[in-house]
Amino acid sequence: MGTSRIPGFYNKTLAERLAQTASSADLTAPELSAWETGGLTPESADPMIENVVGLHALPLGIGLNFVVNGREVLVPMAVEEPSVVAGASFMAKLARAGGGFHATTTDPLMIGQMQVINVINLHEAKLKIYEKKAELLAEADSIDPILKKFGGGARDLEVRILEDSPIGGFLVVHLIYDVRDAMGANAVNTACERLAPRIEVITGGKVHLRILSNLADRRIARARCTIPVSELEMGRGDPAGRPYSGEEVRDGIIAAYAFAAADPYRAATHNKGIMNGVDAVVLATGNDWRAIEAGAHAYAARSGRYTSLSTWNKDADGNLVGTLEMPMAVGIIGGATKVHPAAKAAVKLMGVKTASELAEIIVSVGLAQNMAALRALATEGIQRGHMSLHARQVAIAAGASGELIEKVAAQMVSEKTVRIDRAEEILKNL
Ligand code: MEV
């Protein structure tokens, strides 16, 4: 992989963009055609879910300029919302001036839950489970020899007493399972189902639910970036034409973050902005975006008050520093990641060899996306950015191509008239 910094990428034709992306990851012809066609046919989709009648496509774009842990990476993003790919790419460009994104992950530990009801003495039963912990872990460990071979398996067992529930008290047993490069739901659910009869014998109760928790707070991905304050200067300014100094933009972003940190109504939207980037990569790689969404929002509420997943502050030199920390239960083996040809090509493009590497890229994209939204909101507002993308689409619809797209779009934006009839007129005059 060469550089992820490709000036003028958006001005190239679709075929040129595809060819350039493909060459940087040695994608084969079938991998390329998976992206061109969406990767599935109705026939190949048929066994994936029930009652299949067809396919539903999304645009796939490339997030540019990303450097994650010193490595250049082109990021595949499947998303229908304009400005998401452009916003992430632009912020990644600012971040690369400060060394890019620094990201880490914990071990890929997932939690499986077993709900034990009808227990006569909860405290006694809890300790009895702990007495058999080694045995239970050994049994859970033996369930998936492949996972074990790759270094995964059962790691720990924890027992909680939930006293106040609508049905009274019960026990919850957490099985902590290292799922390595899998998303892990299948391995964990199987292990919980397998352990349940033993838990029933030990406690004298009944194991009711046996299922993975999407609050994957043992499987965390973290990213940080530093944006030199000079990079934040905005010559173009707000709709009234006022330019912004780097310090003003930085402080505006910090104040915008403070709003989300203090108010759940704002935090929900702030975190949605993060998920615009996160979900786009999760989707492009065939991962379970509902699991990621559930984990993110539950984690954001872990203190008892829903708050921002990210932080934005300044460092001793006055540069802007962003951090993001969230659960990231993504895999690169199993599920759609392995059977969906477009998802396989997306994983190959990023050159990731482990699920942790993928998680590190995704959390970096989430941070970039968050900053894109905050920068726009703290300065010109988000409509201007949306408007220019919309204007490009209208220009194309009016028949513009190549350099004319930008010219027609720019004129419509400056006139604040983004309409197909105006685009046609401008095109005629050009
Ligand atoms: C829109 O999809 C996302 C934003 O609302 C995020 C935010 O407000 O931070 C712009």
Is 3 among the domain residues?
Answer: no
Residue at a domain's end among 149, 178, 212: 212
Chain length of the chain: 430
The model's pLDDT over 62-102, given as tens digits with 9 standing for 90+, comes to: 999 999 999 999 999 999 998 999 999 999 999 999 999 99
Is 320 among the domain residues?
Answer: yes
How far is ligand 1, taken at its centre, from the CA of residue 303, in Å? 23
**240 and 368 fall within a common domain:** yes
**226 and 355 fall within a common domain:** yes
Q: Are 276 and 81 in contact (CB under 8 A)?
A: yes
**364 and 224 fall within a common domain:** yes
Is 168 among the domain residues?
Answer: yes
**278 and 375 fall within a common domain:** yes
Residue at a domain's end among 196, 212, 228: 212
Q: How many domains does the chain have?
A: 3
Is 43 among the domain residues?
Answer: yes
Residues 6+ apart with CB under 8 A from 428: none
| 174 close to ligand 1 (CB < 6 Angstrom) | no
Q: Which of 377, 384, 386, 389 for a ligand 1 pocket mutation test, highest count of atoms within 8 Å of Cβ? A: 377
How far is ligand 1, taken at its centre, from the CA of residue 366, in Å? 12
**162 and 231 fall within a common domain:** no
State whether residue 229 is helix, strand or coil.
Answer: helix
Is 29 among the domain residues?
Answer: yes
Domain CATH code at residue 415: 1.10.8
| 383 close to ligand 1 (CB < 6 Angstrom) | no
Domain CATH code at residue 135: 3.30.70.420
Whose alpha carbon is nearest atom 2 of ligand 1?
Answer: 273
For the record, the structure tokens of 423 come out as 């685009």
Is 156 among the domain residues?
Answer: yes
Q: Are 296 and 278 in contact (CB under 8 A)?
A: yes
Give pLDDT, residue 380: 81
Q: Which residue's entry shows tokens 């994608």?
A: 27
Give pLDDT, residue 78: 98
**122 and 256 fall within a common domain:** no
Is 1 among the domain residues?
Answer: no
Give pLDDT, residue 236: 66
**270 and 373 fall within a common domain:** yes
**95 and 167 fall within a common domain:** no
- Mark the ranges of the chain whose per-residue pLDDT is less than 50: none
**230 and 349 fall within a common domain:** yes
| Burial class (CB within 10 angstroms; exposed 0-12, middle 13-18, buried 19+) of 8 | exposed
Q: What are phi and psi of 315, to 5 degrees?
A: -95, -175
**346 and 402 fall within a common domain:** no
Is 159 among the domain residues?
Answer: yes
**328 and 416 fall within a common domain:** no
The b/e string for 18-55 (b: 16+ C-beta within 10 A; e otherwise) is: beebbebbebeeebeebbeebbbeeeebeeeeeeeeee
Residues that are catalytic: 81, 272, 288, 386
Q: Report the distance separating Cα 426 and Cα 430, nearest Å.
A: 6
Beta bridge partners of 175: 112, 157
Q: Which residue's entry shows tokens 């530990």?
A: 109
How far is ligand 1, taken at its centre, from the CA of residue 225, in Å? 20
Domain CATH code at residue 345: 3.90.770.10
Range of the domain at 188: 109-212
**94 and 128 fall within a common domain:** no
Residues 6+ apart with CB under 8 A from 181: 108, 150, 331, 332, 333, 354, 355
Q: Report the distance separating Cα 371 and Cα 227, nearest Å.
A: 10
Distances in whole angstroms, Cα of residue 395 to Cα of each of 36, 305, 403, 421, 428: 23, 45, 11, 10, 12
